[in-house]
Structure 1
Amino acid sequence: MLKKFPVFKLAYALIFVLVLAAEYWHWTRLNFAVKPAIALVLLTFLCLSTTLKGRFHQRLFTGLVFALTGDTLLMLCNYNPSYFLYGLIAFLICHVFYISAFYLDFLSAKELDKKGARIAIGSCAVVFTAFYFYLRPHLPLLKLPVLICVFTGALMVMMAAFRNQRVNSLSFKLVLTGVLFFILADALMAQVHFIKPFIHADLLISAVYMIAQCLIITGGVERKLIHTQTAV
C-alpha cells in the first residue's frame, strides 16, 4: 500500500506541512489558502480513484463536501462568531454521510460478526457516555446539541467497526483508524472550546484531523466487499 498513489501522497504531505506551518506561525493568508485544500485534494483523489460509481463512494464524497464547508466556516469564525456553530453543523452532517456510507457495508451482510458488534456497542456506550458527563458541567446552554454530537460520534465509530468481515481487512483497518482519529479531533476541539484551551491545541487538532480524513478516504478507495447479500 505504501507504494500506491504516489502523486496523491506527495500532494497531501505538502498540504499537511503547509497547514501545520500556517497554524504554528499564525500565517492567516496561507491558512486560508491551504486549509480548504485538505478536502479538495481528497475529493480529487476519491473521484479519480473510484469515479464515484457506487453509493458508498458517493456518500463519502458528499461527506467530504460538508467537511470542506465546515473547514471554511471555522476559518471565518473570527469575523463572525456564528460561523463556528454553522461549521460544527457542517461537520455533523459530514459525520452523518460517513455513517450512511459505512451502514451500506453493514447491510451487505447483517448477520456477520455479532460478537464484534456487541463489543463495539458496549465500548462506545461506556466511553462516549463518560465523555459527555465530563463535558456536561461546562455546557449550560448546549447540553442537547453536544449530546447529539456525542451520539453521532459514537454511531460513526460503531458503523466503522461493523464493517469488519464485510470488507477487505485493509479498508476496514484504515477506515476504523481514521474514524478514531476523527473522534479524537472532535474531543480535542470540545476540550478547547468548552473546558480549557492548551498550548498548540489548533496545531494538534489540525494534524489529527488531516490524518483522520486521509485514512478514511484511502480506506474508502481500497474498499472491496467480501459479502454482497444486498446491492450496495
Structure 2
Amino acid sequence: MLKNHLGFNFYFALLFIVQLFTESDTLTDLFLFPQIHYFTKPLIAFSLFALLVYHTNLKGRFSKRIAAGLLFGLAGDIFLMFEDCFMYGLLSFLLGHIMYISAFFLDYKINTSINKDHAKNAVLGFGFFIILFCGGLWPYLGEMKIPVIIYAIAISAMGIMAFKRFGRVNSLSYKLIAVGAILFVLSDAFLAINRFAYSFKLSGWIIMATYMAAQYLITFGTMERRIKNKIEET
C-alpha cells in the first residue's frame, strides 16, 4: 500500500506535520507563517478526495459515497475554522458520516447473515460509547444537547457499520477502515470534550492527528477494497 503511493504518502506526511505545527502558535511563529492553516487544513480532505478519484475513477457506489463523505469533510474543515460557523461544520461532518454509513452498508448487505456475533459486539461497544460520551458531556451542553446526541449516534453508527464489513471484504480494506472509524470517533470525542467541557493541553494536536489519520485510512481502505468470494462490485 505504502510503496504504491510513495509520492502521495510523502506529501501527506509533510501536510500532517505542518498541520500539527499550526496547532501551536510558537511552532507557527518559528517555522511557518500566520494563518497558514487556512490553506493547509482544507488540503487534508481535498488531497485524499483527489487521490481517490485518480485511483478509482469513482467506479461503483462505494467509492462515490466515500468521495462524497470526503467533500463534506472538506466543507466541515472550512466551516470549523470560523467560530461562528460551528453548526455548519457539525452539519457538514454529520452528512459526511451518513455518506460513510451508506457506503459501509453496501458491503454489509452482501450477506447480512454472516458474523452476527461480531456485529453484536460492535453495537455493544459503540452503544457504550454513546452512553459514556453523552452522559459525561450532558451537564455542559446547554442548548447543544440535541445536536450533539444526534451527532454521537451518527458517528457511532458509522463505526458500527465499519465493523459490520467483517468477513465480506478483504482483510486489508476491513482493517484500514475499521481503525479509521475508531480514530474518527476519538477525534470527534476529543473535539467535543475540548469545546464543551474541558480544554486540555495538546488538544489541538490530538484532535487533528486522529482526524487526519482517520480520513487517510478510510480513503486507503476504499482504494484497497476487494469483495470476498468473487462477488462483484455492488
TM-score, normalisation: structure 2: 0.93
> Which 4+ stretches in 1 moved above 3 angstroms?
227-231
Deviation at 1:30, TM superposition (A): 1.0
> Where does structure 1 lack aligned partners over 5 or more consecutive residues?
none
Alignment correspondent of 1:195: 197
1:110 to 83, 93, 112: 112
Deviation at 1:127, TM superposition (A): 2.3
User: CA 1:7–1:229 in 2, change beyond 3 Å: closer, same or farther?
Assistant: closer
Alignment correspondent of 1:128: 130
> Where does structure 2 lack aligned partners over 5 or more consecutive residues?
none
Aligned pair count? Answer: 228
Contact 1:108 1:231 in 2 (8 A): no
For 2:52, the aligned partner's letter is L
1:10 aligns with 2:14: no
1:216 aligns with 2:218: yes
Alignment correspondent of 1:138: 140
- Separation in structure 1 between the aligned mates of residue 174 and residue 47 of structure 2, nearest angstrom: 22
Contact 2:184 2:211 in 1 (8 A): yes
**Which 10-residue stretch deviates more, 59-68 or 2-11?**
2-11
- Separation in structure 1 between the aligned mates of residue 141 and residue 67 of structure 2, nearest angstrom: 32
TM-score, normalisation: structure 1: 0.94
Contact 1:167 1:226 in 2 (8 A): yes
Contact 2:2 2:9 in 1 (8 A): no
User: CA 1:43–1:107 in 2, change beyond 3 Å: closer, same or farther?
Assistant: same
For 1:4, the aligned partner's letter is N
Deviation at 1:92, TM superposition (A): 0.7
- Separation in structure 2 between the aligned mates of residue 84 and residue 76 of structure 1, nearest angstrom: 7
Contact 1:171 1:220 in 2 (8 A): yes
- Deviations along 1:185-230, one digit per CA (max 9) or x if unpaired, are 0000010111010122112211111011001100011000115778
Alignment correspondent of 2:56: 50
For 1:7, the aligned partner's letter is G
Contact 1:11 1:41 in 2 (8 A): no
